[in-house]
A and B are shown apart, each in its own frame.
Chain A
Amino acid sequence: VKLLLKLTPQTLLVLDAFLLAPKQWRYGYDISRHTGLKSGTLYPILMRMADRKLLETSWETTELGTPPRHMYRLTADGLGFARGRRASSSTITVPRTAFAGVKS
Chain B
Amino acid sequence: MSATRRFAARLLGIAARCAGAESQEWAHAMLRELDYIESDWAALFWALGSATAIFRHSVPRGFRAWLGKRAGKWEAMMGESFAKKAVGVILGIVTAAAVAGTAFGIVHLLFRLFPAWDLGPVPWWVAVIVIPEIIFVVAIVALWRKRRYMAEGILLSAIVLITHFILHVANHYH
B49 touching A28 by the CB < 8 A rule?
A: no
A70 touching B46 by the CB < 8 A rule?
A: no
B45 touching A38 by the CB < 8 A rule?
A: yes
CA distance A9 to B36 in the complex (A): 26
Given known A-B contacts A27-B36, A29-B37, A44-B57, A39 and B29 have beta carbons under 8 A apart: no
List residues of chain B with CB within 8 A of the CB of A43: 26, 29-30, 49-50, 53, 57
Q: Which interface class (under 10, 10 to 19, 20 to 34, 35 or more) fits B?
A: 10 to 19
B50 touching A70 by the CB < 8 A rule?
A: no
Output the least CB separation between A11 and chain B (Å): 14
Cβ proximity bits B78-121 to A, threshold 8 Å, 1 near / 0 not: 00000000000000000000000000000000000000000000
B32 touching A41 by the CB < 8 A rule?
A: no
List residues of chain A with CB within 8 A of the CB of B32: 67-70
A44 touching B56 by the CB < 8 A rule?
A: yes
Given known A-B contacts A28-B29, A57-B25, A70-B29, A40 and B52 have beta carbons under 8 A apart: yes
B53 touching A40 by the CB < 8 A rule?
A: yes
Output the least CB separation between A68 and chain B (Å): 7
CA distance A47 to B53 in the complex (A): 9
Q: Which interface class (under 10, 10 to 19, 20 to 34, 35 or more) fits A?
A: 10 to 19
Output the least CB separation between A33 and chain B (Å): 9
| Most A C-beta atoms less than 10 A away, residue of B37, B53, B57 | B53
A40 touching B48 by the CB < 8 A rule?
A: yes
A39 touching B28 by the CB < 8 A rule?
A: no
B interface, CB within 8 angstroms of A: 25-26, 28-30, 32-33, 35-37, 45-46, 48-50, 52-53, 56-57
